[in-house]
Amino acid sequence: MQDYAIAPSILSADFARLGAEVDKVLADGADIVHFDVMDNHYVPNLTIGPMVCSALRKYGVTAPIDVHLMVSPVDRIIGDFLEAGASYITFHPEASQHIDRSLQLIKQGGAKAGLVFNPATPLDVLKYVMDKVDMVLLMSVNPGFGGQKFIPGTLDKLREARALIDASGRDIRLEIDGGVNVENIREIAEAGADTFVAGSAIFNAPDYKAVIDRMRSELAQVAR
């Protein structure tokens, strides 16, 4: 059985009660905290930064924190997130002037590094940096907002990314972000994803555990 991970996006959590929300979703079975950083420049929205990541660590969160950077420029914020306790740091290749350098900054700081591909961004650059990547994140919505609808063409792109990752022989997670829910998670896993970001599907539901349990039972039925 594949090692599937469920990563609730705290973008849809109640920010006024963030520590309690993160505790709850982890106690309810989540594996990873997905942390969306938006700068109102690379994307048309503004969210949270390294101080909030650091506050979650001080509050006692020990689970992996998966920092999804939707910021430009990328490099000058990486050090702050390394200090703040990020486990994964991913960024969009369009937002970095030097993709290889940004990946190295993350890895030299002791975090895992990843690249994020928007729905219309080709995977081309991946082959040049495969040896430095620990995570590939495919966006299944245009970045900037939670609660959007999954773009179906992402399934073919997942299959393409899965083939590249398998051919590399490296231990690289394949994460999907945007519009993931109980109804589509199985099909997404069958296309090759192993890490599932879900914001509104979990945090907008009255019972987080019920949603996560249903996601896991869908994943247990994935055809291999």
Ligand X SMILES: O=C(CO)[C@H](O)[C@H](O)COP(=O)(O)O
Total residues at interface with ligand X (CB under 6 A): 22
Instruction: Note if 156 is an active site residue.
Output: no
Rounded to a whole number of angstroms, the minimum distance from the CB of residue 101 to ligand X is 23
For the packed helices 75-83 and 50-59, what is the interaxial angle rounded to 10 degrees?
A: 10
Residue 154 touches which of ligand X, Fe ion, none (Cβ within 5-8 Å per kind): none
Residue 14 amino acid letter: D
CA–CA dist 175, 137 (Å, integer)? 5
Within 189-208, which residues bind ligand X (CB under 6 A)? Answer: 197-201
What tokens appear for 98 in the block?
A: 């030097």
Rounded to a whole number of angstroms, the minimum distance from the CB of residue 15 to ligand X is 14
Rounded to a whole number of angstroms, the minimum distance from the CB of residue 1 to Fe ion is 26
Instruction: Determine the interface stretch with Fe ion among 42-50, 63-71, 126-134, 205-213 (rule: CB under 5 A).
Output: 63-71
- Give the phi and the psi of residue 83 in degrees, each rounded to 5: -65, -30
144 torsion bin: left (phi>0), alpha (psi -120 to 50), beta (else): left
What tokens appear for 147 in the block?
A: 């609660």
Catalytic sites, residue numbers = 36, 177
Binding site for ligand X (CB under 6 A): 9, 11-12, 34, 36, 68, 141, 143-148, 177-180, 197-201
